[in-house]
């Protein structure tokens, strides 16, 4: 896996810090072992884990630039993607992992301890509730989401966390143009402005990823995010 990761990072034009690739490999081993008893990933072939989890995650660095000293919240982090791979590539990143399932966060905290990763906060909460917390609202340089959800809903969940001048990065499929266009009203309502999308091919695959890059240009109105049922029933 180390060689595959080195090759993929080189294809993406990324230079990993010393030891980062070895940490990714160890993380992958821990993931596949834990996946036997906890539903963390449907991808279980080691080469596909390397490509579709790790290389896909770190390719976001093409949108963020240098993350050193920046803050990022990974909303609905699941098994820790893209947050932890980004942290491994940018050790000075202040990372917050938010998830609604405590068992996942407990496991991720153990992974970070095992890998010697510091500077990570673990928040057990629902995004629509935590986004109303003044300590988290308009606070982060970046928010990321890899969840399979409508972009209108993702914007309402994630943009409240982003400070003015920061960005929300929504990882989408290449054929998501209609969905992205439909989200324009939500983006504007929530204080965002859509910048040019970033697209990349995941090395070693035929998968093309599209990242919706949304800049926060005004504070999110205080009535957002709404309750989950309301977001689902009447997306912006």
The whole-angstrom separation of Cα 124 and Cα 128 is 12
By the 8 A CB rule, do 134 and 161 touch? no
Q: Which residues contact 83 (CB under 8 A, 6 or more apart)?
A: 57, 72, 74, 77, 95, 97, 144
| pLDDT digit string, tens, across residues 91-125 | 999 999 999 999 999 999 999 999 999 999 999 99
| pLDDT digit string, tens, across residues 56-92 | 999 999 999 899 899 999 999 999 999 999 999 999 9
pLDDT at position 221 over 90: yes
pLDDT at 206: 92
The whole-angstrom separation of Cα 206 and Cα 147 is 20
Q: What is the mean pLDDT of residues 149-178?
A: 95
How confident is residue 147, by pLDDT bands cut at 50, 70 and 90? Answer: confident
How confident is residue 20, by pLDDT bands cut at 50, 70 and 90? Answer: very high
pLDDT at 65: 87
pLDDT at position 148 over 80: no
By the 8 A CB rule, do 128 and 227 touch? yes
How confident is residue 149, by pLDDT bands cut at 50, 70 and 90? Answer: confident
Tokens of 218: 């005004």
The residue to which tokens 């990349």 are assigned: 200
pLDDT at 18: 96
pLDDT at 218: 97
| Residues paired with residue 98 on neighbouring β-strands, in sequence order | 75, 123
The residue to which tokens 């990993």 are assigned: 16
Q: Is the peptide bond before 225 cis (omega within 30 degrees of 0)?
A: yes
pTM of the model: 0.96
pLDDT at 133: 97
């Amino acid at each position: 896996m180390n060689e595959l990761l080195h090759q993929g990072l080189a294809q993406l034009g990324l230079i990993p810090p010393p030891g980062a690739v070895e940490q990714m490999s160890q993380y992958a081993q821990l993931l596949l072992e834990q996946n036997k008893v906890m539903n963390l990933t449907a991808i279980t072939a080691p080469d596909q884990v390397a490509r579709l989890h790790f290389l896909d995650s770190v390719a976001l660095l093409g949108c963020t630039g240098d993350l050193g000293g920046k803050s990022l919240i990974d909303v609905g982090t699941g098994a820790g993607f893209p947050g932890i791979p980004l942290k491994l590539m940018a050790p000075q990143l202040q990372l917050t992992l938010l998830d609604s399932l405590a068992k996942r966060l407990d496991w991720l905290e153990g992974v970070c301890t095992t890998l010697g990763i510091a500077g990570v906060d673990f928040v057990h909460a629902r995004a629509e509730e935590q986004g109303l917390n003044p300590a988290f609202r308009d606070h982060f340089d970046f928010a990321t989401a890899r969840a399979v959800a409508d972009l209108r809903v993702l914007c309402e969940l994630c943009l409240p966390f982003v400070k003015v001048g920061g960005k929300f990065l929504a990882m989408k499929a290449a054929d998501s143009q209609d969905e992205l266009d439909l989200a324009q009203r939500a983006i504007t309502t929530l204080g965002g402005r859509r910048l040019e999308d970033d697209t990349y091919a995941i090395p070693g695959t035929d998968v093309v990823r599209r990242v919706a890059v949304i800049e926060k240009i005004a504070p999110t109105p205080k009535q957002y995010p709404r309750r989950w049922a309301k977001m689902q029933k009447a997306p912006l």
